[in-house]
Amino acid sequence: MDRSELDALRARNIALTEQVKRLIRTEQRLYRAQRGAAVQLQRIEALSEFAHEMVGVTDDEAVLHRGIDLLRSLFSYQQGVAFLAAADGAMVPVAVSAAPGCAERSEERLADRRPVVVDRDALPLGPAVLDLEQGSGPCPWRPLHERTEELFSPDDPATAERASSLLALPLRRERLLGAVLLRRLGRDQSLVEALPGPSDTAFLRLVTRHLESAVESAQMAGRIRTILEQLPGGVVVQQGGRVVFANRTVASMFGFGSPDEMVGAEVADLIHPDQRTEVAEYGAALLEGGQPIRTLERALVKRDGTRFAAETVAMPIVFDRAPAVMVIVEDLTERRSLRTQLAQAERLATGGALAAGVAHEINNPLAYVMLNLDALAREAGASGPAALRLQEARDGARRIRDIVRDLRTFARDEEEKAEAVDVPRVLDKVLAMAAQEMRYRARVVRDFGDGAVARAREGRLAQVFLNLVVNAAQAIEEGDVAGNEVRVSCRREGDEVVVQIADTGHGIPASDLPHVFQPFFSTKPRGVGSGLGLSISRNIVEGFGGRIAVDSAVGGGTRFTVRLPADDATARERAAAPAARARGGRRILVVDDEPRLCSVIADSLTDRHEVVTAVSGAAARQRLAAERFDVILCDVMMPGESGMDLHEWTVRTRPELAPRFVFMTGGTFTPRARDFLASVPNHCLDKPFDQDALERAIEAVLER
């Protein structure tokens, strides 16, 4: 083989060697690419699994803890800390993760969630890989890195291993959410190769986006869950026929001690057997999208088996990464009870208006009956059969008057100013009205002291006492009158009038005592009472500047104590004072649309006064325009021109006569009449009145 052939062979060998080298390099590049692709695929799969796990998670700290674990597994960092941004922008450490042997006491130290102040605007927008040994120090990250070092510092500083690399991921959406920091310790070459490089920037951005989305979703879900837990309406979520979420309201509604007790309960057990199939079919149709969302009334069952009606709205949702049905539940018991109470209140209001009207119609004829009886009694003298019969008739008329006045006391809506009220007299009225309720239950014991005059309104006070007396009676079973009593006491204590109503009934449990004055709370059986009486009574008493309290023990009876501001005036003495004989020789105008009443009043006064009558407001106005009167007895309610209209005209045209009006009323059952009488200082006679009351009213005007 000559030299030229050797050179050619050598050239071919060189070319072949180069080709082999190129093939080896290509194979190496393919291997690295394949290995890189496998690593990237592994990372993508891990990230995908993370994203799937985070769906429905409501704890942002749990999201960050899982995120640290993910990053450490992908890039071989030994330590990691997650921070959440506080409302003031400071960063609070909330989660730590470390490789075996690198945790130190970080979990324990994490309990001290001391915030770290950072310059949020200086933090990079994207992830950063920093070599701490190159001296390029992580300036914007230094405060967070120092806090990370504190969390992972060993107890013996001499054993501390210096961090060589830092991975920092800022978490931002529309605002700064937080940050994740991971540290590598030492310079192990195998770990160095596993650290992220420039080609991993895109993947790190993807991880950051997933973390940001998961944290924000968890925070939003947490806020929604908190709202659902605090809602006054009941909210329950069910999956696969079991309760997986319940708020406090719905747990209490069904008789569970807490939401946790209700979670896991069979949904079928909470529904009345008659509706279980229907509810199950409707829920399945909702999940399939074949049913509109509707408001439906359901028969539900409490934990103890009690049935109740509820209004429900069910809707399909995703809960903990699975289809579920959320149901909003409203117990209809209270709403129906309220409707019943409102209907009852309307009936009472209608009855009150009717009672006031009836009382007005009775009072007018009763007024002239009583005045005529008084006149006949004076003519008959003080002895003899006729006098005795007349006295019986007068007593009967007064009895009718008292009954009608009692009826008016409870029928009228009193918005007038407070006045001196003879409390024992009110209690006597109340006990008379409640006598039938007491008759077969208990003895009534009265203990009334002197000077018990309160600053209040008689009607309102009677409403309070009647409620307390009836409650006392209903707390005692029928059949043992001699063995039970209702004791009603009244006395003056300093600046207060103290009324106590005590019974020997079954008493009130200690657990119920704090609630007895709450609206709709009742210890009575269902259907007995409204649960509003004590609440209204407290409002009335406090409206007078008083107080009401209760003492009770099961089996030991109950005692209500009412304290009212005392009035210095002595209403009882005023009412019992003998009538002064009105001085004679005066001109008196009597104005009333009831001619007989005008006639009787005139007859009773003619022997001492000059009396003129008018049966309408218009006729009285003509008299007042041309004549002078010393006293004007005027009915308040008259057809056409009322006594109020006549008084207003007098104030404008003859103001000197306005103080001489004495108003007569058979019942002020209109707001205008009540407001009018509360605004004028003139004396008012409640029909029916007797001769003594009439004389006192006239004398009061003449003494001015």
Write down the domain spans for the chain: 53-215, 224-336, 414-573, 579-702
pLDDT at residue 94, as a whole number: 94
Structure tokens at 298: 């359901």
**CB atoms inside a 10 Å sphere around CB 318:** 10
Q: How confident is the model at residue 344 (pLDDT cuts 50, 70, 90)?
A: low
The answer to whether 314 touches 326, Cβ cutoff 8 Å, is: yes
Q: Phi-psi bin for 550: left (phi > 0), alpha (psi -120 to 50), beta? A: beta
Mean of per-residue pLDDT scores for the chain? 84
Q: Is the pLDDT of residue 409 over 80?
A: no
Who wins on pLDDT, 143 or 336? 143
DSSP type of residue 538: H
Query: Higher confidence at residue 107 or residue 352?
Result: 107
What pLDDT sits at residue 415?
46
Query: How do residues 534-576 score in pLDDT, each as one tens digit?
Result: 888 888 899 889 999 999 989 899 999 999 999 875 444 444 4
Give the angle subtended at the CA of 295 by the CAs of 294 and 298, to the nearest 5°: 120
What's the average model confidence in pLDDT over 7-33? 80
pLDDT of residue 328: 93
Confidence of residue 253 (pLDDT cuts 50, 70, 90): very high
Cβ distance 334 to 305 under 8 Å?
no
Give the model's pLDDT for residue 348. 63
Please give the C-alpha separations between residue 393 and each of 70, 362, 366, 407, in angstroms, as whole numbers: 103, 16, 12, 21
pLDDT at residue 571, rounded to an integer: 43
Please work out, in degrees rounded to the nearest 5, the angle formed at the alpha carbon of residue 498 by the alpha carbons of 496 and 500: 170
User: Would you tell me the crossing angle of helices 385-411 and 332-380 to the nearest 10 degrees?
Assistant: 160
Closest CA to 581 of 694, 475, 657, 439: 694
Of 418, 29, 40, 403, nearest in space to 196 by CA: 40
221-241 in b/e form (b: 16+ CB < 10 A) is beeeeeebeeeeebbbbbbee
Confirm whether 414-573 and 579-702 share one CATH topology.
Answer: no
| CATH class of the structural domain 579-702 | alpha beta
Distance CA(473)–CA(665), nearest Å, equals 35
Q: Given this model, what pLDDT does residue 532 score?
A: 67
The stretch 266-293 carries a mean pLDDT of 89
Output the CA angle 499-501-504, nearest 5 degrees. 155
Residue 95 has pLDDT above 80, yes or no: yes
Non-local CB neighbours of 274 within 8 Å, separated by 6+ positions: 299
Task: Report the candidate in 614, 663, 666, 629 with the shortest Cα–Cα distance to residue 643.
Answer: 663
* pLDDT-based confidence at residue 634 (cuts at 50, 70, 90): very high
Cα 114 to Cα 417: distance, rounded to the nearest angstrom: 62
643 pLDDT higher than 90 = yes
Evaluate whether the domain defined by 224-336 bears CATH number 3.40.50.150.
no
Q: What is the pTM of this model?
A: 0.47
- At 572-618, the pLDDT tens digits run 444 444 444 445 579 999 999 989 889 999 988 988 899 999 999 99
Domain 53-215: give its CATH architecture. 2-Layer Sandwich (3.30)
Q: Is the peptide bond before 688 cis (omega within 30 degrees of 0)?
A: yes
pLDDT of residue 237: 93
State residue 584's pLDDT score: 57
Which amino acid, 45? E
Is the pLDDT at 509 greater than 50? The verdict is yes
Window from 189-203, 287-301, 460-474 with minimum mean pLDDT = 189-203
Cα–Cα distance measured from residue 534 to residue 548, given in angstroms and rounded to the nearest whole number: 10
Indicate the fold that domain 414-573 takes in CATH.
Heat Shock Protein 90 (3.30.565)
The larger pLDDT score, comparing residue 157 to residue 109, is at: 109
For residue 349, pLDDT beyond 70: no
Closest CA to 181 of 165, 167, 196: 167
